[in-house]
Chains A and B, each alone.
Chain A
Amino acid sequence: MNNRYSVFSNIDWLTIALYFIIMLFGWVNIYSAVFDEAHQSMFDISQRYGKQMLWIGAALVLAFFIMLIDSKIFENFSFLMYILILILLIAVLMGGKEIAGSKSWFQIGGIAIQPAEFAKFATALALAKYLTQPGVAVRKFKYLLRAAIIVGLPAVLILLQNDTGSMLVFSAFALVLYREGMPAWILVFALVVGIIFLTTLMFGKWMVISFLSAILLLTFYFIRKQKKMIAVVVFFFALSAGLSYGVDYAFENVLEPHQQTRINVLLGKEIDNRGAGYNVHQSKIAIGSGGLLGKGFLEGTQTKFNFVPEQSTDFIFCTVGEEWGFAGSSALIILYVMLFIRLVFLAERQRSHFSRIYGYGVLSVMFFHFAINIGMTIGLVPVIGIPLPFFSYGGSSLWSFTILLFIFLKFDAERKQVFI
C-alpha cells in the first residue's frame, strides 16, 4: 500500500494533463471528421467516434494497470519482450493479414493488431537495457554498431511487411543515441548526406557533382600548401560525388514509381493535384481555408464532404486546421511542443540511466510521428502514413503510445526509489 501511494503522489500530472487534453481534442476532431447526420451521438459505438471513446477508455485502464505493475519487470524482461516482438514480427510476415498493401496485421476475433506498434516500446526498452550494460558506451563505434542493430532488426522486419512509414519511425532512435554520446559527426554526416540526397533529387546528379567540383577547386586554392588536407578533401569529394551518383541510381532503379512520384510532387518537380498529389493538395486546401479562427465545429466543408482522404487517421490534422483555424492548429502544436519539452525535462531528471534512455526513446518516437504527420499535411515532408500520437483514430496506435508513455511515467514516479 505504501508503495502504491508513493506512485500516485509522485506521478507527473502535468504530462498526464497534456496527454488527456490532446486525446480528447483528437476525439472531438474524429467526431467532426466522420460526422454523420444519422448518427449524431458522440457516443454511438457504431461510428468511429464511438469506437475511439472505447479505445480511450481502454487506454486509460491500460495506463492505470501500468502504474500498478512493478517497474522492475520492464527493465528485467526488456530483452525478452524485444525477442518476443521480433518473433511476432516474423510471424506476421508469414501468417498476417494484409490491409492496404501492408502485411502487418494479426486478426484476432474482430480486432486487428499491429505488432509493429508494440515493437516501438519493446525496442526502446531493449535499447535502454543494452546501453546500461556495464562497459557499453555508445561513443565507441563497436557499441554504437550493436545498438544500431538492436534498432535496425525490427525496422528491417517492418520494412519487409511493406510498412515503410512505421519502419522510418525507428530512425528516430538516432536522437537517443545522440543524447547518449553518439559522435555528433554522424548527425552532421547524416545532414550532409541528406542535403546531397535532396539536391540530387531536385537538380540531378550532374548539377550536384559540378557544384561539388567547384567547391573542391576553391578549397584547393586555400589549402594548397597542406598536402595531407588535400587528400582528405579529395576523399570527401569522391565520397559525396559517389553518393550523389548512387542516390540518382537508387531513385531511378530501386524506388517504385509511386514513391518516385510522391517525392517529385513534394519537391515541386511534378504537379499532380489529381493523382499522387491529391491528398496533400486537398489537405493544404482544408488547412489553408481554415483562416485565422476556422470555420467552426462541424462546419468544415473539406472535412464534411470527404475531400480529404484518411481524414480520421493520418490526415486528422486537416480537420483541426479547417474547423479551428490558425488559432486551434497552432494551439495543438504548442501542446505537443510542451509535452515533448516536459518529456526531455523528465528524462533528464532520472537518476537511473535506464529510465533516462527509455524516456528519450519515448520522446524520439513521438516527436518523429508528430514531425512527419503534421509535416505531411502541410506539405513539408512526403506522404508517409503514420498517425498523430494520441490524436488519430485507431486503437493500436493509441494503446501503443499510451503504453510507451506510461511505462516512462511509471519509471519517473519511482525515480526516487531507484537506489533504495
Chain B
Amino acid sequence: MIAAPEAATWKWKAKENFKTFLNPFHPLKNCFSEGFFISTGQAYSNQNAYFCRSKEREFMRKDFSGRKYFIFTIVILLGVIFIIRLFYLQVVDKSYMLSAESNVLRKITKYPARGLIYDRNGELLVYNETAYDVMVVPRRTQEFDTLELASLLGIEKELVINRLKKAKSYSWFKPSVFLPQISKQTYAYFEEKLYKFPGFYVQTRSLRNYPHPVAGHSLGYVGEVNARHLKKDPYYQQGDYIGVNGIENIYEKDLRGKKGVELVMVDVLNREKGTYKGGRYDTSAIKGKDIYVTLDLALQSYGEKLMQNKIGSIVALEPATGEILALVSSPGYDPNLLVGRVRGKNYTKLSRDSLKPLFNRALMAQYPPGSAFKPVNALIGLQAGVVTRNTHFGCNGVTSWPIKCSHNHKSPLNLPEAIEQSCNPYFWKTFDRIISSPSYAGSAEGFIDWRKHVASMGFGKKFRTDLSNERPGSIPKAEYYDHYYKRGHWNSMTIRSLAIGQGEILVTPLQLANFSAIVANRGFYYPPHLIDSVAGQQEAVEAFTEKINTTIAPENFEPVADGMRRVYDADHGTARWYDVDSLQMSGKTGTVQNPHGDDHSIFIAFAPKDNPQIALAVVVENSGFGSKWAVPIATLMMEKYLTGKISRKWVEDRMLEGDLINNKEEEKDE
C-alpha cells in the first residue's frame, strides 16, 4: 500500500511530473521513462544514476491526488459549455421559437359567404347554397359495412365499391370526393352514423345558385383561382374562388368579403388540439357585400323568353340614368350550368356550341347599323344647318341615284317623313350636304367633323363602365380613306354607304340602345352600366353619374324624335302595325345586309316619346326585314316594361313560337 500523501509536496510533484512528461529534452527524461515503462531493476547506466533512483522512489510514492483538479476542471468546464450552448439556443437564437410555432400551429381559413346579387327591385338573382360532399381518405378507412353506407347515402352497393376503388387509385393519403352534393336531409342522417365509417367525412362548400335561369352573361360566374390571380393578388390562395366574368368579376372585391383565420394547435400526428391562446389571434370572416344591379328581372326574363330560338340581342336602358334594364344575348345559357363540379364539363360543351351561347352578342357583336343609323345623319345635318325639319328632298324610288330607294312613297319628303319611310335618297342628300359643305376646305374636313359628331353619340369606343367583354365597334377615320384614295381624291360619293349606315361602320347593340337613349333624352346620355348599388356604400353608383352631352343641340332632336314617332303612328311607318297609341312609342328600323345569309333585323326604340322611360335596341340575326321580328319584340318589351302586361296576345305568341334556328337547321339537315 502506498503511504498517505505528503500534502506539502504533492503540488511540486505533480508539476515536476507534468513538466517531465511534456518536455522531451528534460534531463531526467530517461530515468523517468524507464521507471515508467519498464518496471524496475535495470541498472541505470548514465551519470545521474543515483538521482534517477531517488527520483524513481519518489515517483513510486506518488499518489497523483493533484489530478483531482483536472477532474474538477473538466466537470466545471462541461457545465459552462452546456450553459453557454443553452444560452445561445434559448436566449440568443429566436428561430427555434418560430420553428416550434410552425410545428404546432395550423392556419384554418374561414371563408366568408359571398355577397348576394339582387335586381333593381330587390328580387334575388344570385344566392349561396351549401353543398355537402362526402369525402374519403382511403388510408384512414377501415373495414366497414358497404351495404349500410350504400343505403345511408341512397346509392347502389356496387357504386360504393367502385367509388372507393377510384379514390384509392387517385391517392391513398389525399382526400377525394366520394359522393358529391348530397342533400341536406341525407347529410343530417349520414352525419349521425359517420362514426361507423372512419376515413369518411362531409365537407361543406358554398355554391352559387340562381333562382331564375337568366342574365348569365351579365352576372358572370365564379371559378377557382389560377396562377395569374395568385400572383396578382396575395389575398387569394390555391383553391379559392373568384369571379371570372360579368358582375361576379367586376365587383369581386365587394362580393368576396374578407376571409378570417383561426389558429389551431395540432400534435405530431396532425390532430387538432384546440385553439391557440384562447383564440386571441383569430379573426372572423366578414361576409361579402350584397349587390343590387340595374336589371329588371321581369323584363330580362321576358326578353330572354322572346328571344328563344332566335339569334340576336336586346339591350334596354333607362334613358334618364343609363341604367341597363335588360341585356339579352340569344342563345344564352342557364347560369346554373356553370356552378360547382359540372362547370368544367358544361363550359366545354357551351364553348363548342356552333351558336356560341357564351358569346355576349349584346356587347360583343358588331354590325353595320343600316337604316337605324339614319337618325344620326339627320341629327348631324340639323346641327350643321344643312337641313331643317322642312327641307324636302325628292325621291325617284328604285331609279334614285346614287342610292336607290326600295320603298314606294310620295315625293318629296320632309325630314320626319324621310325617317318614317326610311328614304335612302333623302339621307344620301343630307350626308352629301354635310360632307361637301362649302364651309369646309374639302371633303376630308367635312368627314372629320361628321365623325366627331358620330363619336360624341357613343359610337366607335367602349363605354368602359362595369360591363365585361365590351367591344368598341368602329367608325372609319379620314386616314382610312386617305390610305386607299389619297387625301383630296375621295368625297361624299366615295363613302356614300355611310349615309344609310352601311359600309365601313360597325356598332354594337349596346351602342344602338345608347343612341336611342340619346334621342329620348334629346342630346345627352349616361354611360350604360349594371350597378345599382352596393349594400352599404355609394361610390360604385356615383362612378357612373357623369352626364355626357353630345355635340348636337337639344332642339335639333325634336324633328328626329317626331320622325321616329311617325315610324309607329304614320300611315307609312315601318312599325305602324304594332303601335300602342297610349305608350307614344318611337323607333327606327334597320336591315343589315348580311353576305353570309339572310339579312339581320335591327330596331331601335324608346317610349313614351316625351318623358321616355325606356330606350332599347333589338337585333335579330338572319331574320330578314326589320319590322318582321325586331319591331314586335321591341314593342312587346316596351309595353311589358311600361304597363306590366301585354295587350295583344297574338303578337307575343307569334314571337314566342317563332323559331329561326331549328327551322334553318332542318332545312340544312334534310
Contact = CB atoms under 8 A, between A and B. Distances in A.
Size category of the A interface is 35 or more
Q: Chain A at the B interface: mostly helix, strand, loop or mixed? A: helix
A284 B96 contact: yes
B266 interface: yes
Contacts of A291: 90-91, 97
Interface in A379-402: 380
Question: Chain B, interface size: which category?
Answer: 35 or more
Interface in A306-354: 306-307, 321-322, 325-326, 329-330, 333-334, 336-337, 340-341, 344, 347-348, 351, 353
Contacts of A269: none
Contact of B79 (A137, A337, A344, A348): A337
A298 to B, nearest CB: 13
A184 interface: yes
A391 to B, nearest CB: 14
A65 interface: no
A378 B62 contact: no
B82 A378 contact: yes
A260 interface: no
B71 A288 contact: no
A268 interface: no
A141 interface: yes
B21 interface: yes
B177 interface: no
A408 interface: no
Interface string A289-313: 1111000000001101111000000
Contact of B89 (A287, A337, A371): A287
A286 to B, nearest CB: 7
B220 to A, nearest CB: 45
Contacts of B21: 183-185
Contacts of A307: 103-104, 267-268
Contacts of A351: 4
A132 B2 CA distance: 10
Contact of B90 (A137, A140, A179, A329): A329
A248 interface: no
A305 B62 contact: no
Nearest to A139: B36
Contact of B100 (A183, A301, A337, A380): A301
A202 interface: no
Given A141-B37, A344-B71, A333 B99 contact: no
B381 to A, nearest CB: 83
A285 B89 CA distance: 9
Max count, chain B CB within 10 A of own CB: residue among A141, A285, A329, A371: A285
B268 A306 contact: yes
B18 interface: yes
A185 B82 CA distance: 27
Contact of B86 (A175, A304, A321, A337): A321
Contacts of A336: 79
19 contacts: A134-B1, A142-B39, A178-B67, A183-B21, A184-B18, A287-B90, A287-B96, A288-B93, A288-B95, A288-B100, A291-B91, A301-B104, A305-B268, A306-B269, A326-B91, A329-B90, A333-B83, A334-B83, A353-B1
Given A333-B83, A344-B75, A380-B82, 20 more contacts: A132-B1, A178-B71, A179-B71, A181-B62, A229-B24, A301-B100, A301-B104, A305-B267, A305-B273, A306-B267, A306-B269, A307-B104, A321-B90, A330-B86, A333-B82, A337-B75, A341-B76, A360-B71, A367-B74, A378-B89
Interface of B: 1-2, 4, 18, 21, 24, 36-37, 39, 60, 62, 64-65, 67-68, 70-72, 74-76, 78-79, 81-83, 85-87, 89-91, 93, 95-97, 99-101, 103-104, 265-269, 273
5 closest A-B pairs (Cβ-Cβ)? Answer: A288-B96, A289-B100, A305-B267, A337-B79, A301-B104
